[in-house]
A = this chain, B = another copy of it.
Amino acid sequence: MRVLGIDPGLTRCGLGVVEGSVGRPLSMVAVGVVRTPPDLDLALRLCEIERGIEAWLDLHRPDAVAVERVFSQHNVRTVMGTAQASGIALLVAARRGLPVALHTPSEVKAAVSGSGRADKAQVGAMVTRLLRLDAPPKPADAADALALAICHIWRGSAQARIDAAMAATGRTTR
């Protein structure tokens, strides 16, 4: 199973592709960031994010997409832009008929580190270990995107099968 993890953001949108399955070693296919300049018009920034994600889907052909769930509680100053970027990520994946899942930051941290309150450094260290990389991926948004993909693979084949069946009928459980 190949999963594209997306850590949405306007200035830096983290992207990470991981291949693997439950109980077998994971491997990193690609990691990177789509950046858009803060002085560019908001609507044009969203267009660039759409183009960037489309290019990754064309190149890496994932079986599923996992997007970080955005909450309105924190980072009030940037949360609206993050929500808009996440909307573009969900749209682009669903438009292709790909199963899309949202995972919370706590779910992702718990999946890779065993604790929902792990810090950035712990997540980076675990991603590095699990994917047998030489160094933690930078920036943190890129490491987070890989952690999202790992979380999605590990949360499992059962849920993925349910989602695929539901997606085929146009409805999902989430």
Contacts and interface: CB of A to CB of B under 8 A. Distances in A.
Interface of A: 39-44, 46-47, 50, 70-73, 76, 79-80, 83-88, 90-91, 93-95, 100, 102, 166-167, 170-172, 174
Chain A, interface SS category: helix
A117 to B, nearest CB: 23
Given A72-B76, A76-B72, A90 B46 contact: yes
B70 A80 contact: yes
A46 B90 CA distance: 8
Copies in the assembly, this chain:
2
A65 to B, nearest CB: 9
B76 A44 contact: no
A103 to B, nearest CB: 13
A2 to B, nearest CB: 18
Nearest to A67: B43
A90 to B, nearest CB: 4
